[in-house]
Amino acid sequence: MPDAGLAADGSIDYFNEWYPVSFTKDLDKSKPHRFVLLDIPLVIWWDPNAKAWRVFEDVCPHRLVPLSEGRVNQAGMLECGYHGWAFSASGRCEVVPQQGKRDTPRACATAYHAAERQGLLFVLPKPLPPALLTKGGTNPDLAAALAMAVAEEARIPLVPELEEPGGKWLSQDVWRDLPYDWSTLMENVLDSSHVPFTHHVSMSNRNVIGAYDLKLTTPLTEEGFDGLWKTGPRAGKLGPQSTTFKAPCFMKHRLDAKGFASLTVVYAVPMRPGKCRLINRNVLRFGNPVPELIFNLLPPWWWHVSSNVLLEDDQVFLHLGEEELARRRANGLSHSQVCYMPSTADTYVVAFNRWLQRFGGGGPFGGADTQFVEALGARLSRQQLLDRYSQHTESCASCQQGLRQIAAVRGAAAAVRTLAGALAIFCAAVAVAAAAVGAPAAALGSLAAPPPAGVLGVLGSALVRCAEAVAGPLDPSGAGQMLRAAAWAALAAGAAAAVAALEGLRQRFYEGVYPPPRNVSAKD
Ligand code: FES
Ligand SMILES: [Fe+2]
């Protein structure tokens, strides 16, 4: 039986494959989101009635504006921001305010099959059958369409290990919209030999290189391939690493080392030519509970922010390199004709490109030709390439929450800095005055003298008590107050350091740094 994802000519039908579009924990349920998959603009929105994510084409059937600029209304329908047409879960138009009633099927939004699995929202980018637009459960077309929908969901590319009961796998989840093609990303993550060099300092070491004895362990088919790197990373210190490429967008490395096991899972999601969404899960299983405890304490945004340097290690050269590759291939040359790959280190890169040529039709956007080169567009500036905010933070609910938390803590730290600084100055002034005059009464002036009676007296006593609480018991030498001044100054300095550190952390949500750590490291 042919694979459901294959076109009639045996090559893959990219529009009949499931793609993850987002971690659901990073989606804000209060508003619609735009995402482009295979050049199709999509709107992702939370249906509060069914408590499920919905995915439509991001185009209003009335006058074609993006539905993602609208809202989810009180009735739990997606409402266009232009004239208020409202659409229910299946895409059916329920409200045309200008007519007072819903309109014909032509008024429907195009709905896509979406399913949440393993914390990811997956989309099948072919429109739902019209039968699913019909309400009620007796329509035989509807029953058939629903049965087909269930069968379709069995093809979602999942991480099998995360399905193991009691598997104790922990997933560190990261995503970013990258300024290069999904095929460039897939090549990059299949290519383990770049890691010690590209990611020297940030995660690896270019001085620890072992054999790159990579081999395919299964034949190359339309479904992908498996492979084994017998020596494995860190010059073999961690043991062999196995790899799976499941066409078209899933890749997994697995390493079973002493004390831990790790999976590096990447979904390379094609957005448009030269642009993809990386969805990355670093899945770990530890031999003892301490790392697990620490792992669970960290918020999702921490992993997002921490992954940026690593991603930016490759960002500039992959963006520039893929254009060079496409230009050279536009003359009709194959990948292996324009790239020279004599070593077994490139086994998976070669295999992936063979898959792309034999079964992948060159890619969803038509492969390397002059049109593809044109579609890649002008190269971005370095500043644009390192723009973390537009490539991730702006659309990530977890990072937006992180920014709010950081702003709140930073505000509190700034207040402590100001207050403690003022108190340090006050204590120092009291100490200097006490030492100069040699008597506490003189040091604190009338505040330290017996208070007058009445309201002024009460106020005066309160002020003296406050002053003592801040500056310590009155001390004729001024030494006690000076000690307090030093303590307040230390607190102010600590708070100032916290403000600076939090500002540095906030900055990490916005822009990357250049040059990459490997090029500025003093270590060889
Ligand atoms: S364009 Fe959407 S309601 Fe008019
Ligand atoms: Fe994030």
Which residue ranges make up each domain of the chain?
Answer: 19-153, 160-395, 407-507
Choosing from 73, 80, 108 the residue with most ligand 1 atoms within 8 A of its CB, the one to mutate for a pocket test is 80
Cβ of 82 less than 6 Å from ligand 1: yes
When pLDDT is cut at 50, 70 and 90, the band that residue 267 belongs to is: very high
Instruction: Assess contact for 47 and 76: CB atoms under 8 A.
Output: yes
Place of tokens 């971690």: 23
The answer to which of 4-18, 175-189, 276-290, 395-409 has the lowest mean pLDDT is 4-18
Residue 520 has pLDDT above 60, yes or no: yes
Domain spanning 19-153: CATH 2.102.10.10: yes
Q: Which CATH class is domain 160-395?
A: alpha beta
Distance 66 CA to ligand 1 centre (A): 9
Exposed, middle or buried, 150 (CB in 10 Å: 0-12/13-18/19+)? exposed
Instruction: Assess contact for 305 and 291: CB atoms under 8 A.
Output: no
In the structure, ligand 2 is a single-atom ion and the residues with CB under 5 Å from it are: 304, 396, 398-399
The answer to which of 54-63, 124-133, 331-340 has the lowest mean pLDDT is 124-133
% of the chain at pLDDT higher than 90: 75
What mean pLDDT comes out for the span 370-388? 95
Distance 271 CA to ligand 1 centre (A): 25
Q: Residue 52's pLDDT is what?
A: 96
Residue predicted with more confidence, 296 or 67: 67
Q: What are phi and psi of 183, to 5 degrees?
A: -70, -35
Who contacts 338 (Cβ-Cβ below 8 Å, separation ≥6)? 325, 328, 329
What mean pLDDT comes out for the span 94-114? 87
Q: Residue 442's pLDDT is what?
A: 47
Q: Ligand nearest 400 Cα, by number? A: 2
Residue 426 has pLDDT above 50, yes or no: yes
Residue predicted with more confidence, 177 or 476: 177
Q: Residue 444's pLDDT is what?
A: 52
Q: Residue 479's pLDDT is what?
A: 87
SS3 220: coil
Ligand 1 atom closest to the CA of 85, numbered from 1: 3
Q: Residue 368's pLDDT is what?
A: 77
% of the chain at pLDDT higher than 70: 91
Residue nearest to atom 4 of ligand 1 (CA): 83
Q: Residue 248's pLDDT is what?
A: 98
∠ CA 324-330-333 to the nearest 5 degrees?
95
Residue 438 has pLDDT above 80, yes or no: no
What mean pLDDT comes out for the span 178-182? 98
What mean pLDDT comes out for the span 218-244? 96
When pLDDT is cut at 50, 70 and 90, the band that residue 434 belongs to is: confident
d(C-alpha 346, C-alpha 337), whole Å: 14
Cβ of 85 less than 6 Å from ligand 1: yes
Ligand 1 atom closest to the CA of 96, numbered from 1: 3
What mean pLDDT comes out for the span 305-325? 96
Distance 59 CA to ligand 1 centre (A): 9
When pLDDT is cut at 50, 70 and 90, the band that residue 450 belongs to is: low
What mean pLDDT comes out for the span 489-505? 98
Q: What are phi and psi of 257, to 5 degrees?
A: -100, 175
Choosing from 82, 99, 102, 103 the residue with most ligand 1 atoms within 8 A of its CB, the one to mutate for a pocket test is 82
Q: What are phi and psi of 323, to 5 degrees?
A: -70, -40
Residue nearest to atom 3 of ligand 1 (CA): 83
Instruction: Assess contact for 506 and 410: CB atoms under 8 A.
Output: yes
Instruction: Assess contact for 162 and 171: CB atoms under 8 A.
Output: yes
Q: Residue 99's pLDDT is what?
A: 87
β-partners of residue 61 are none
Q: Residue 276's pLDDT is what?
A: 98
Residue 9 has pLDDT above 70, yes or no: no
What mean pLDDT comes out for the span 370-374? 91
DSSP state of 233: T
When pLDDT is cut at 50, 70 and 90, the band that residue 1 belongs to is: very low
d(C-alpha 143, C-alpha 191), whole Å: 45
Q: Residue 6's pLDDT is what?
A: 56
Cα–Cα distances in angstroms (integers) from residue 388 to residues 106, 165, 300, 404, in the given order = 40, 36, 16, 17
Mean per-residue pLDDT over the chain, rounded: 91
